[in-house]
Structure 1
Amino acid sequence: MASRHRASRRQPSPGEPSSGRWGTFATVSTETSAVRPATDIDRIADDYLTKLAELSPIAATYFGIPGHDEELDDFSPAGHEAHAELRAETLAALDRATPVDDIDRVTLAAMRERLGLEDETHRAGLDEMALNVIASPLQSIRGCFDLMPTATDEDWGTLSRRLERVPDALAGWKVSLLSASAKGNIAPRRQVEACIAQCADLVTDDGYFATLVAEARLAADGGPGELADATRETLTAAAEGARSAYAELGGWLREHLLDDAPVEDACGAERYALLSRAFLGAEVDLAETYAWGQEEVARITAEMEAVADQIKPGSTVQEAIAALNADPAYQLHGTDELKAWMQERADEAIAELADTHFDIPDPVRTIECLIAPTQTGGIYYTPPSEDFSRPGRMWWAVPKGVTEFGTWKELTTVYHEGVPGHHLQIAQTVFRSDQLNNWRRMVAWTSGQGEGWALYAERLMDELGYMDDPGNKMGLLDSQSLRAARVVIDIGVHCGFEAPAEVGGGPWTYDKAWQYLTSHANQDEAWLRFELDRYLGWPGQAPSYKIGERLWMQLRDQVAEREGATFSLKDFHRRSLDIGGVGLDTLRAAVLGELSGDVA
């Protein structure tokens, strides 16, 4: 689509200073600094990553580390113990090492925090019992194939050999689930039922495995080409084996877990506190955060009502949204138009923000927008490979039957996943091979830091004038409303806090959670049902977005107050992003100079 849906504003020419709420943004050179010599702590971190890739080939594929694309993880108890042994070995090595500079100090703090929390999670049995609708071995085993190259027969041969390992990977996971079950650790019944349904969807005649074979082509320069007969035969057999394994898994979950799975969705306050720390890399007062979440919902609701009046005077929020959905100026028809619009908006943001508001290295100025091969409804980002031969990618998993899209509510998502959101944050860190070890660049990811930055990026684009159009502003607020509502639901349900008065107070129930969610989110029912299942089955993750944004805003305000008239937003962004995806407590300490004793 053309840029007719852009917010009304004048953009500076390349190299021209831009002014706004935060004053003048001067152009800063992106020239590569001198290569930093590797230290003992760098070598420990890189050794850990090498061994992690061996233990988790799926993670290796995700991070673009070659050499493991035919393999899958061992999800059995033995596999979890191997990870625990690697963490213990690495933490012991770190205890013997001496940091030589601030980069080392951040690495040391970040690795101790991340690996230490992973050990706590392991000791609590949470890795062994992992089963939910979005982030458990069921999804990660299947999802890794989306990232594999398919340009040549050799690529398809590698993919086929990994497909052949799916039955063994699922078998190992089942051993862990049985081991956890014997200890009384079973995912809630709602999650087991949903995973059974996901298995059924994957193995239908138009499900993932059948579609993979039917649509398998070579990505040749002259256009899609046909696979060699032998390659297609191998792929077909491997896909059928994987399909059969997922079909069997659905029956196995029904037979071995469903009857014993607890009806209660809540994980409890003690377990929730651990999971919240794991997703944030920070410890927060959950009762205070729960109250703040309700205040945020009220604030955003009031803003939405004001914008609704701009869109259609005298209208309610729902009436204004209906008007936006009916407005041809905001409509996209079909996934081809959606993909083209995503790419145009992403490229536009890079072109307009580079060298004015952000330093964006040349390799990071490429992002690829794609329609995902799955149909789950999710929108997500995958990082570039280490050498950038595979660019950062924004994926849209369009649900079956959905052909119409509204740009008014999706522009903020492009900024969230692309620039200045995940793509700038993650790809720029991958690029910094001259300063950061591989673990810092490719693995150090914390949801609160990463997703909090992406929400901060959406808010920043509003501050810079990109969301001035009332329709686009409504889309931003609609997204914020969902993120704030899930802070309330997630913490409230799992920690057992009293439900808000608007849903009757008292103990939370599924029906109260559904009522609250649908009162403050405007997506379709099927999407919201999945969202609610996600909150109930993946405690602590969904609130990390909005809580992370809050902590990012607090850090920015703290640095601005400390630096006064000398504060530069661009410098703040550069300093913060250069640190990489560490936990929020480590990020704060690094930005404020507390790890080295310096003052930022």
Structure 2
Amino acid sequence: MSNTISPLPREVADRYVDELIALDPVTGTYLGVKESSSRLPDTSPAGQEALAELMRATLARLDEAERQPGADSDVERRCARLLRERLTAELAVHDAEEGLRAVGNMSTPPHAVREVFTVTPADTEEDWAAIAERLRAVPAALAGYRESLSLGLERKLYAAPRPTTTFVEQLTEWADVDGSGRGWFEDFASAGPDALRAELDEAARTATAAVVELRDWMRDVYAPTIEGAPNVVGRERYARWSRYYNGTDLDLDEAYAYGWSEYHRLLTEMKTEAGKILPGAETPWVALAHLDEHGRHIEGVDEVRTWLQGLMDEAIEALDGTHFELAERVRKVESRIAPPGGAAAPYYTGPSEDFSRPGRTWLPTMGLTRFPVYDLVSTWYHEGVPGHHLQLAQWVHVAEDLSRYQATVGMVSANAEGWALYAERLMDELGFLKDAEERLGYLDAQMMRAARVIVDIGMHLELEIPADSPFHPGERWTPELAQEFFGAHSSRPADFVESELTRYLTIPGQAIGYKLGERAWLLGREKARERHGDAFDPKAWHMAALSQGSLGLDDLVDELSRL
């Protein structure tokens, strides 16, 4: 008789992370695993199936683990629920063969291949030797991706035409960043040491040639084949993706109605703040356009990076010890400028597991050199502190009390984006938005997230615009109407609006998680406050909430209410 003790759910989850890293070195690099630095994943159909087999095997192990003594403790229960929900949602996407039509302006395998170089260690000659090997792996990774898309074409699983067009444009920019014939990989490799100069240059040229080859195939073969395919996904596919990004099976019609209710609430607030800036302004966006010309600005790319770093440093000093209790390693976050050729939205990358690489915020400049302050303040509270950085870095900090899975690869998008939007609101509640200019910028960002709920659900499900809407009442949503609506209710420039709508067509169901996740965080806080009464301690609640790891929206409100 065997005396082997079966693992508990957290052990199953951490074994999954180890086995995932072996298959996906991009994930390994983000976690700080040095051995991953020279490799790229298999993006072919076979590589996708290997990942799915790992998920199925892990779920079988989890079945056994949940029957073990001790599996019903809070820490094991949370981990098991997350692992089962995440792997089930990911398998649903895989089994629907969504990986055979993964084309768009972000979150595709080629985007992951390029972006991983920005977080690959590059401090020593040994690091750069690994980078050279990784550069030489780019052609195989892009060829595997093309194999997956080719199979999708055979099975008539078509990507949306509009994101495909944008992706071809991005590949063109990656192949020639500034019109000089120098590709992004060559530009990146130019920072390497002289001792490896010839090796790096040759590897980078090989990577760029693979980008050109993929671009030509996408333009000449893929795009013509999918011409006329729908840009929207319909209710069944949307529900699948919504579960993937939100960790719950949403009532999509209720969520759509909630988006409209937030739209009307925010519009009223925006009109009040706009009147303080430009009395008599026809709309809040007229006042924001006035700020584009006459409001406070940061001039220069280096200058805006430095200014954003200062904003985050100031937030940490003001919040630590008063509203949060931060470990020293969580206090460090870096401001960076995003590489060209990506989507227009700012983003955050988390720290490595040992914090040797800190969390970083990234600003895409889109060629601009002048940046309005109103558009930056609440956005950097969202991306940096107390938003994404505090949550995701805290998860890594307490990983030993959770599991590696809960702290890293098990992230639910709507949980993280909901916290970041909640963080913007928290800074407003705490009085950090100092004047009408900053507060109108915050409300404009909130309105953008409400508009995302409306147009993302509305256009993919082709819903009817309500009769009380000031915009095309009674008509059915289309991508064209969605772009018009978004442009009319945002201070962002036309290229940003276009990039946003392409993003929604690329990753349906993700953009709604900001507002719906924020709603879950607010409800969880309110329930905890009701339970504790006058004894409710916001600082203690925030730190407990940030230390429980990832949860889907199914579980988030329940767990937050218990804290």
Shorter-chain-normalised TM-score: which range? over 0.9
Q: How many equivalent residue pairs?
A: 547
Aligned with residue 69 of structure 1, among 37, 61, 82: 37
Q: Which stretch of the first structure deviates more once superposed, 313-322 or 98-107?
A: 313-322
Distance 2:224 2:188 in 1: 38
Q: Which stretch of the first structure deviates more once superposed, 417-426 or 431-440?
A: 431-440
Q: Which stretch of the first structure deviates more once superposed, 90-99 or 314-323?
A: 314-323
Q: Does residue 321 of the first structure (1) align with residue 294 of the second (2)? A: no
Q: Does residue 228 of the first structure (1) align with residue 176 of the second (2)? A: no
Q: Is the 8 A contact 1:449 1:548 kept in 2?
A: yes
Aligned with residue 455 of structure 1, among 407, 410, 421: 421
**Counterpart residue number, 1:362:** 328
Q: Is the 8 A contact 1:369 1:395 kept in 2?
A: yes
Q: Which stretch of the first structure deviates more once superposed, 125-134 or 86-95?
A: 125-134
CA drift at 1:215: 6.2
Distance 1:201 1:586 in 2: 42
**Counterpart residue number, 1:274:** 240
Q: Does residue 581 of the first structure (1) align with residue 553 of the second (2)? A: no
Distance 1:113 1:147 in 2: 29
Deviation string 1:319-340 (CA, Å, 9 cap, x unpaired) is 3223322336x11110111011
1:155-166 → structure 2 map (5 Å cutoff): 155-166=127-138
Distance 1:461 1:271 in 2: 36
CA drift at 1:318: 3.1
1:121-160 → structure 2 map (5 Å cutoff): 121-160=93-132
Distance 2:184 2:229 in 1: 35
The verdict on how the C-alpha distance between 1:216 and 1:168 changes in structure 2, with shifts beyond 3 A counting, is closer
Amino acid aligned to 1:189: P
3-state SS in 2 of match to 1:128? helix
Distance 1:87 1:436 in 2: 20
**Counterpart residue number, 1:237:** 202
* Alignment root-mean-square deviation, CA: 1.9
Q: Is the 8 A contact 1:409 1:474 kept in 2?
A: no
3-state SS in 1 of match to 2:250? coil
Q: Which runs of 5+ in 2 are unaligned?
A: 1-5
CA drift at 1:299: 1.4
3-state SS in 2 of match to 1:585? helix
3-state SS in 2 of match to 1:515? helix
Q: Which runs of 5+ in 1 are unaligned?
A: 1-37, 219-225, 594-599
1:148-547 → structure 2 map (5 Å cutoff): 148-204=120-176, 206=178, 210=183, 212-214=185-187, 216=189, 227-229=193-195, 231-261=196-226, 262-316=228-282, 317-327=284-294, 330-376=296-342, 377-400=344-367, 402-500=368-466, 501=469, 502-547=471-516
Distance 2:474 2:485 in 1: 11
Distance 1:372 1:247 in 2: 22
Q: Which stretch of the first structure deviates more once superposed, 57-66 or 103-112?
A: 57-66
Distance 1:176 1:518 in 2: 35
Q: Is the 8 A contact 1:503 1:515 kept in 2?
A: no
Amino acid aligned to 2:404: N
Aligned with residue 21 of structure 2, among 34, 44, 53: 53
Amino acid aligned to 2:39: E
1:10-159 → structure 2 map (5 Å cutoff): 40-97=8-65, 98=68, 99=71, 101-159=73-131
Distance 2:34 2:210 in 1: 26
Q: Which stretch of the first structure deviates more once superposed, 196-205 or 52-61?
A: 196-205
Q: Is the 8 A contact 1:275 1:539 kept in 2?
A: yes
Distance 2:495 2:444 in 1: 17
Distance 2:557 2:82 in 1: 12
The verdict on how the C-alpha distance between 1:215 and 1:189 changes in structure 2, with shifts beyond 3 A counting, is closer
CA drift at 1:211: 5.0
CA drift at 1:194: 1.3
Amino acid aligned to 2:82: A
Q: Is the 8 A contact 1:282 1:585 kept in 2?
A: yes
Amino acid aligned to 1:63: L
CA drift at 1:375: 4.8
Q: Is the 8 A contact 2:520 2:556 kept in 1?
A: no
Distance 1:392 1:48 in 2: 24
Distance 2:33 2:558 in 1: 30
Distance 2:293 2:104 in 1: 36
Q: Which stretch of the first structure deviates more once superposed, 127-136 or 110-119?
A: 127-136
Distance 2:10 2:360 in 1: 28
Deviation string 1:349-387 (CA, Å, 9 cap, x unpaired) is 011100110111110011111112335333111111111
The verdict on how the C-alpha distance between 1:42 and 1:348 changes in structure 2, with shifts beyond 3 A counting, is same
Distance 1:301 1:239 in 2: 49
Distance 2:289 2:93 in 1: 45
3-state SS in 2 of match to 1:405? strand
3-state SS in 1 of match to 2:98? coil
Distance 1:140 1:434 in 2: 27
CA drift at 1:518: 1.1
The verdict on how the C-alpha distance between 1:169 and 1:492 changes in structure 2, with shifts beyond 3 A counting, is same
Deviation string 1:415-458 (CA, Å, 9 cap, x unpaired) is 00111100000001101133122111222211100001000000
Could you say which structure has the higher helix fraction? 2
3-state SS in 1 of match to 2:386? coil
Distance 2:188 2:8 in 1: 48
Amino acid aligned to 2:92: E
Distance 2:560 2:337 in 1: 37
Q: Is the 8 A contact 1:209 1:239 kept in 2?
A: no
The alignment's TM-score, normalised by the length of structure 1, stands at: 0.88
Q: Is the 8 A contact 1:280 1:583 kept in 2?
A: yes
Q: Is the 8 A contact 2:525 2:561 kept in 1?
A: no
The alignment's TM-score, normalised by the length of structure 2, stands at: 0.93
Over the matched positions of the two proteins, sequence identity in percent amounts to: 39
Q: Which stretch of the first structure deviates more once superposed, 431-440 or 318-327?
A: 318-327
Distance 1:334 1:476 in 2: 23
CA drift at 1:217: 6.1
Deviation string 1:250-270 (CA, Å, 9 cap, x unpaired) is 111123322232432110101
Distance 1:523 1:251 in 2: 32
Q: Is the 8 A contact 1:39 1:100 kept in 2?
A: no
Q: Is the 8 A contact 2:175 2:184 kept in 1?
A: no
CA drift at 1:216: 4.8
Q: Is the 8 A contact 1:266 1:494 kept in 2?
A: yes
